[in-house]
Amino acid sequence: MRRIATGLAAAFVLLVGCGPPPTTNATPSATPSSPSPRTPSAANPSVASLHSLESAYEDVIANVLPSIVQITTKVGLGSGIVFDTAGHIITNAHVVGQASKMEVTIATGGPPRSARLVKSFNAGDLAVIKVDSPNGLRPARFGDSSKLRVGQIVLAMGNPLGLSGSVTNGIVSALGRTVSEPQEAGSPGATIAGAIQTSAAINPGNSGGALVDLAGDVIGIPTLAATDPQLGGGAAPGIGFAIPSNTARDIATQIVKYGKVTSSHRAALGIQGSTVIGLDGEPIGVGVIRVGPGGGAQKAGIKAGDVIVSINGKDTPTMASLSELLATLKPGDQVKVEIQRADGTTATVTVTLGQLQPE
């Protein structure tokens, strides 16, 4: 678009310069002055605006892309963001999977570098890895995701389908979503609280990369794309989700400093459970498999074999729905938990939520 605008401006100046000269009998006072060549902004303000937006895109990509890496394990690949000059890189836990060693390639080129896993935080689908040779790595700048506004233009940077250094654009479509991943091989089945919804295309391989605003700040970690059952489970176009940068930075800082997550800031009932299916084939609640010692559930009298059917009046038919509901609450909150006992009786107990303890 900028080349077209420049070409039009040049053609206009050329036509003015080749116009007929003033007649020889005209007096100096009557000689018309030559029109000043118009700049693209004077000729077409909308073209100038597009030129400015295009330049902003180019600047952001040039500044941020050297901080984006491709992460390759034995079973797949994904993306990551350089966190510091020591060689720490933030990515998704599902990108790392079960791997303890991997290779890292900078999006702008260069040979692969060996790296190792520092720690994964599966509950939030985040992980930190460390490159053995950090020379020349450029840390990204992380912005404040709490200041995001719906409608902001964002760019997603990563390595979709292995196409290193790819960039897509879109907007912040919504804020504060709570979304869950399907639990399957290589995926921790994490629940992400406060997720950023974006229309920027997120494809396989984008996971762990950067969602960036036009100031060049990383404001999210692209992690999930919505699926549409009507499309056979294929990705729903224009609906992707990213972990807020404030969450990612907090978890990564803890891992770098302590080698693990010491404070998840997430509520927990203090149970291990699984979805219970009723006689009609539909989920009816979360069956308690184990109750953690000293946790809120144990103190409230919840026992293995109980089925949790609602919290604060909101149905919890599946483990995913229970996790999503807990993600909206805080440690220390008191909640009303409705349970169905093994003998068929029901009860409602008050549980003081504890803090989710990372694995």
Greatest mean pLDDT among 31-35, 95-99, 115-119 lies in: 115-119
- Residue of 51, 125, 173, 310 with catalytic role: 125
Is CATH 2.30.42.10 correct for 267-355? yes
- Among candidates 98, 101, 198, which has minimal Cα distance to 157? 198
Per-residue pLDDT for 13 more than 60?
Answer: no
- Residue of 67, 79, 164, 207 with catalytic role: 207
CATH architecture for residues 145-258 = Beta Barrel (2.40)
Distance CA 22, CA 328 (A): 77
- Residue of 94, 145, 166, 180 with catalytic role: 94
Place of tokens 């229309």: 199
Distance CA 316, CA 336 (A): 12
Q: Average pLDDT in the 9-37 region? A: 32
Start-to-end CA distance of the chain, whole Å, equals 51
Q: Average pLDDT in the 100-112 region? A: 93
Place of tokens 């790595």: 137
State residue 358 phi and psi, 5-degree precision: -65, 155
Helix axes 2-17, 45-64, angle to 10 degrees: 140
pLDDT score at 237: 82
Residue 231: pLDDT band (50, 70, 90) is low
% residues pLDDT > 90 (the chain) = 68
Distance CA 286, CA 215 (A): 44
pLDDT score at 73: 94
Query: Mean pLDDT across the chain, nearest whole number?
Result: 85
Strand ranges for 166-282 from DSSP E? 166-180, 183-184, 187-188, 191-198, 210-213, 218-228, 234-244, 267-268, 271-277
pLDDT score at 228: 74
State residue 256 phi and psi, 5-degree precision: -65, -40
Residue 25: pLDDT band (50, 70, 90) is very low
Same fold, 145-258 and 267-355: no
How confident is the model over 288-298, as pLDDT tens digits?
999 999 999 99
Instruction: Say which amino acid occupies 155.
Output: L
Per-residue pLDDT for 248 more than 50?
Answer: yes
Catalytic annotation present for 207: yes
Per-residue pLDDT for 41 more than 60?
Answer: no
Helices (H), ranges, the chain: 2-17, 40-43, 45-64, 93-96, 245-258, 296-300, 319-326
Question: Which is it for strands 191-198 and 210-213: parallel, antiparallel or unpaired?
Answer: unpaired
Lookup: tokens for 225: 């794309």
Catalytic annotation present for 34: no
pLDDT score at 1: 23
Domain edges within the chain: 145-258, 267-355
How confident is the model over 130-144, as pLDDT tens digits?
999 999 899 999 999
Residue 181: pLDDT band (50, 70, 90) is confident
Per-residue pLDDT for 206 more than 50?
Answer: yes
pLDDT score at 226: 87
Catalytic annotation present for 125: yes
Place of tokens 């069956």: 287
**Contact 68/210 with Cβ under 8 angstroms?**
yes
Residue 187: pLDDT band (50, 70, 90) is low
- Among candidates 320, 318, 293, which has minimal Cα distance to 307? 318
pLDDT score at 233: 63
Q: Average pLDDT in the 307-321 region? A: 94
Distance CA 242, CA 263 (A): 21
Lookup: tokens for 78: 């994904």
Residues 6+ away with beta carbon under 8 Å from 56 = 214
pLDDT score at 219: 98
Lookup: tokens for 349: 């107990």
Residue 204: pLDDT band (50, 70, 90) is confident
Question: Per mean pLDDT, which range of 183-192, 217-226, 241-250, 285-294 is the poorest?
Answer: 183-192
